[in-house]
Amino acid sequence: MLSKESKMRVLENFYTLDYIFFGKPIVRLEACCPVLKEEYISVKGALMSVYIEMLKMINHSPNHISERVNKKALMRFARENAKHGRVNAARLIKTEQAKKDIKLEVKQALQENKKVNVSELTTTKIREKAFRLATDNVLVARAITESDDFSALNDIEGQIVENAYKVLRDGVCEAAMLLLDKND
């Protein structure tokens, strides 16, 4: 069972993802394709479900919330959280390891399709990597700092949850990228 504070963190992060990807709540995004918007929301919901399981496994225990939190405060928290996630992702994307990962992704994509524009492909891969890093920073890194014991992620059940998280994280980032591309 999650504490009230953990449940608030889940809800905050649900909105934070929108701010990471779009800079605003998904409901304010004018989508050309409602199906893409629905897909994004569905995958985001599945990701949050796995995230809840992760929080249970690591005995998530954030600081006690003594104040009453309304929607306005929750959205403010989400914006601030997204801002921190984006800043950290921007810092991490400049590391040598991230550069190696992006080069490898570009090479793999070029092997699949040699007629693609390399400049556009590189920009896309950098954006994807930044979204993944920001999502991990906001969801996982913060949860680990607020947990009592995260060693459960090292056992077989923890590895399954982590793998499910990665698949859904990639899916939500991909759905967000599609929405952004269709709205440009």
Tens of pLDDT along 118-164? 899 899 999 999 999 999 999 999 999 999 888 888 999 999 999 99
Task: Quote the tokens at residue 29.
Answer: 């995004």
Give the single-character DSSP code of 102.
H
What rounded mean pLDDT belongs to the chain? 92
Q: pLDDT tens across 23-65, in order? A: 999 988 886 788 999 999 999 999 999 999 999 999 998 887 7
**pLDDT on residue 148:** 83
Range in 2-6, 29-33, 77-81, 99-103 with the lowest mean pLDDT = 29-33
- pTM of this structure: 0.91
